[in-house]
Amino acid sequence: MRDERRADGPPGPIQFGISVRMTSNLKKHILRLPEDLWKPYRKDADIESDCADVLNYWPEEEARPEGAGPLRYIAIRIRKRQGELFADGSEAKYFAVASNQWEWDRVRLLEWQREKAGTVEALHAVLKNDLAAGVMPCGRWGANAAWLRWAVRTHNVLTALKRLALPEPWLRAHPKRMRFQIFCSPGKLVAHARQMLLRVKRLPEQLAEWIAALRLLPIARRL
């Protein structure tokens, strides 16, 4: 992808972001980074992640095509909250991503790189545990294939909904969370003043979020 004059593909630049192997030399460079270079990346229930550009790192084993510029290396540091240690006794875990994209900020680049579903294993886990693709309905190949296709289509529709209409915090939401917080919402039909009203038991902030999402969906704009 770095060779813009590639013989076996279309010419021109191709942007990419690839997870790289954590070599001892790369980890040495990451550990030398000053603390003020680390920027908050993600926060979960029990861990928090930071990211930083790895400065002045040029791997000796890098095979660079003629005319290609250097790669950009971004380090990810994962630590447990309250100073807890991981199972192996380490205070932090480190990962790295290499890219030829230099214009975006670090967080945007990492989010874009992880839009490939994070990892294939994570996608499989969602399909199997959240969308019923882990247990086939019968012993017929055709029926099982249709079952799996609908599970994948459901995943794609939910992903499109999160990216097109829902706010940024929903991008990493699993189908189970969306089911209980959006789709399966308690409500009551009420007839009042010759009108049929739907009373939904949700917070006003949640209802405003749903209305904004509906306005962003193409199918809602055509109705």
Dihedral of the CA atoms 157, 158, 161, 167 (nearest 10)?
-160
- What the block records as the tokens of 70 is 């250097």
Q: What is the pLDDT at residue 3?
A: 77
Quote the pLDDT of residue 74: 94
pLDDT at 184: 85
pLDDT on residue 139: 84
Provide the residue ranges of all domains of the chain, joining segments of one domain with +.
17-116, 117-223
121 in helix, strand or coil? helix
Buried b (16+ CB within 10 A) or exposed e, 119-155: eeeeeeebbeebbbbeeeeeeeeeeeeebeeebeebb
Question: How much is the pTM?
Answer: 0.54
Note whether 20 and 98 are within 8 A (CB). yes
Question: Tell me, what's the pLDDT at 52?
Answer: 95
Tokens of 204: 């006003």
Residues in the chain where the model's pLDDT stays below 50: 223
Q: What pLDDT sits at residue 66?
A: 67
The first and second tokens of residue 39, run together, are: 């920027």
22-27 own/partner pairs: CB under 8 Å, 24+ apart: 22/94, 22/95, 22/96, 23/59, 25/59, 25/60, 26/54, 26/57, 26/59, 26/73, 26/96, 27/94
Q: What is the pLDDT of residues 68-120, one digit of tens each?
A: 678 899 999 998 877 777 777 788 899 999 998 999 999 999 988 887 655 56
